[in-house]
Structure 1
Amino acid sequence: MVKIGKYNRLRIVKNVDFGAYLDGGDGVEILLPARYIETPLHKDDEIEVFIYRDNEGRLIATTEHPYAQVGEFAFLRVNDVNRMGAFLDWGLMKQLLVPFSEQRMKLSKGMVVPVYVYLDDASQRIVASAKIEQFLGNKVPKYFLGEKVTALVYKHAEIGYKAIVDNLFHGMLYDNELYGQLKVGDTVTAYVKRVREDGKIDLLLHGGKDGRIDSLVDGIREKLLQSSDKFIPVSDSSSPDVIRDMFNCSKKDFKKAIGNLYRDRIIEITPDGIKLV
């Protein structure tokens, strides 16, 4: 059977004036409307489509791509609100419902909110929930130190940014470990710093300690190359504020990076700054 709310690769059963019917398994035929067919389709061709239910509960296929499929989180805009709930722009002609029971606060038109997309067991319709945290941390995370993950930033808290890790887990990016700009709604590549006993994951925006330093080494070398005299008036004796303003990093990381550059005989370190050899 097809997976509702997911992409499926299905076989063409027959063409009709208003589209094509696809084999949904168990004798079910699913309409792909003509407006989604860009090139001629022939019987027994296979095509990748997204499956959802229309307003009358019928299965429909589309070649359009929603902003999120079932099992994923996304920031979506509220297009309308009525007695059923809030309707979100989902990237498809049919809008995505957030029932009132799944709203943390009353949603209004124009709001952009983080939601989780899921298949309602009773109706078999795709709906969304703004109560996103209930869908996180329901499995045991098994990551190793420095493993690369995808993180959706959904809230700024007192100590940093809360993030959704790989559509499954709670993550945190701490303010005191961020040296670049980050904002709610960003989807970023992050790296596992630590998996806590409660299953929540501390994250870094650079590839663990070594990756962070390697990135900084590249940045320092690039800035030296761009300098007319191949010299930068910042050294390991400079203040943390001066280093942060120039390189978006801590003094500790800066000292490690220029130590690596010096060891590889790429720079000279002077009392006044660093110079490209």
Structure 2
Amino acid sequence: MIRVGEFNLLRVKKKADFGVYMEAIDQEILLPTRFVPAGTKVGDELKVFIYHDSENRLIATTQKPFGVVGDIVNLKAVSTTHQGAFLNWGLMKDIFVPTSQQLSKMVAGQEYLVRIYLDEMTGRVAATERIESTLSNENIELKEKDPIDIIIYRRTEIGFVVIINNKHTGILHFSDIFRTVDIGDKLKGFIKSVKGDKIDVALGQPGYKRVEDEGEKILRLLRENNGYLPYHDKSTPEEIQAFFGMSKKTFKMTTGSLYKQHKIIFTQTGIKAVEE
């Protein structure tokens, strides 16, 4: 069964002047010459993405779209009509968002967070802004400290609503954000708490794993600055955030850990790397 809007592993059935035909169960699908890898022979298996061309024919490509069916991605509108909008999908043919699937009238040049789906009526790949109806917090199998994929969805008074693993919604509180984030950003994080259908999340990794990651960052910055950085306990939280991209609390925990590991020393004016 061919999976439209996804990558398929298909065998080259025959060559033509304008490409090669990939063997499907009950049909042949053209892979145009420009996308055929050099040295391809009849019988070779290729991983190709399948979608419909402008004449509604199935076509294959080795190009990688910005997302496949089921993905939630941030795409830029390139043109609009009364029927809908076309977004740059990373392929030669743009992806269509019907007017009925827009939350507000899309404008060319603007970016929109959409879910890619397969239209049941046409069998073609399309996109929708109506994401929340496909998300649910009824059956949450996640638990505290589980690693997750996060997409920044929308801003609220207390933080950002985020999409978790393309399945659930949660809250990333402003107090847990120590870097600039924008709508559509894809980030790594973890579960802080699950209370009923309410999920709180944080960025990075939990506990000491997070400190260890920040430790590598501080050591790298030290190497890039001749082994010395003018930051210490008396530095303001704003100074720490601006340079390191972390809270002062995380900075103190991390430098304390590095000191115990004999990787840095504290001076009156900053921190210094221990020479190996």
TM-score for the superposition, normalised by structure 2 = 0.84
Matches within 5 A, 1:46-125: 46-125=45-124
In structure 1, what is the Cα distance between the partners aligned to 2:129 and 2:123? 19
Compared CA separation, residues 267 and 52, structure 1 to 2 (3 A) = closer
In structure 2, what is the Cα distance between the partners aligned to 1:43 and 1:229? 58
**1:151 CA displacement:** 1.9
**Paired residue for 1:210, among 208, 215, 218?**
208
Compared CA separation, residues 51 and 222, structure 1 to 2 (3 A) = closer
Determine helix, strand or coil for the equivalent of 1:21.
strand
**1:163 CA displacement:** 2.5
User: Which residue is equivalent to 1:166?
Assistant: 165
Alignment pair present for 1:133 and 2:124: no
**1:100 CA displacement:** 0.8
In structure 2, what is the Cα distance between the partners aligned to 1:14 and 1:273? 68
In structure 2, what is the Cα distance between the partners aligned to 1:230 and 1:44? 59
Matching residue's letter, 1:11: R
Compared CA separation, residues 67 and 248, structure 1 to 2 (3 A) = closer
Matches within 5 A, 1:241-256: 241=238, 243-244=240-241, 247-256=244-253
Compared CA separation, residues 84 and 179, structure 1 to 2 (3 A) = same
User: Residues 36-78 of structure 1, C-alpha deviation per residue, up to 9 Å, x if partnerless?
Assistant: 2242433222111111122333211111111111000111111
Compared CA separation, residues 253 and 2, structure 1 to 2 (3 A) = same
C-alpha contact 2:6 2:50 (8 A) present in aligned 1: yes
Ranges in structure 2 where 5+ consecutive residues have no aligned partner? none
User: Which residue is equivalent to 1:260?
Assistant: 257
User: Which residue is equivalent to 1:16?
Assistant: 16
C-alpha contact 2:76 2:111 (8 A) present in aligned 1: yes
In structure 2, what is the Cα distance between the partners aligned to 1:221 and 1:42? 50
User: Residues 128-182 of structure 1, C-alpha deviation per residue, up to 9 Å, x if partnerless?
Assistant: 1011222222773423433332222232322223332222222332221122222
C-alpha contact 1:139 1:168 (8 A) present in aligned 2: no
The number of equivalent residue pairs is 274
**1:104 CA displacement:** 0.3
CA RMSD of aligned residues (A): 2.9
User: Which residue is equivalent to 1:6?
Assistant: 6
Alignment pair present for 1:177 and 2:170: no
Percentage identity across paired residues of the two chains? 35
C-alpha contact 2:231 2:240 (8 A) present in aligned 1: no
Determine helix, strand or coil for the equivalent of 2:63.
coil
* 156-165 or 116-125: bigger deviation: 156-165
TM-score for the superposition, normalised by structure 1 = 0.84
C-alpha contact 1:145 1:208 (8 A) present in aligned 2: no
**1:119 CA displacement:** 0.3
In structure 1, what is the Cα distance between the partners aligned to 2:126 and 2:76? 14
Compared CA separation, residues 159 and 9, structure 1 to 2 (3 A) = same
In structure 2, what is the Cα distance between the partners aligned to 1:211 and 1:234? 22
In structure 2, what is the Cα distance between the partners aligned to 1:193 and 1:207? 10
In structure 2, what is the Cα distance between the partners aligned to 1:216 and 1:274? 15
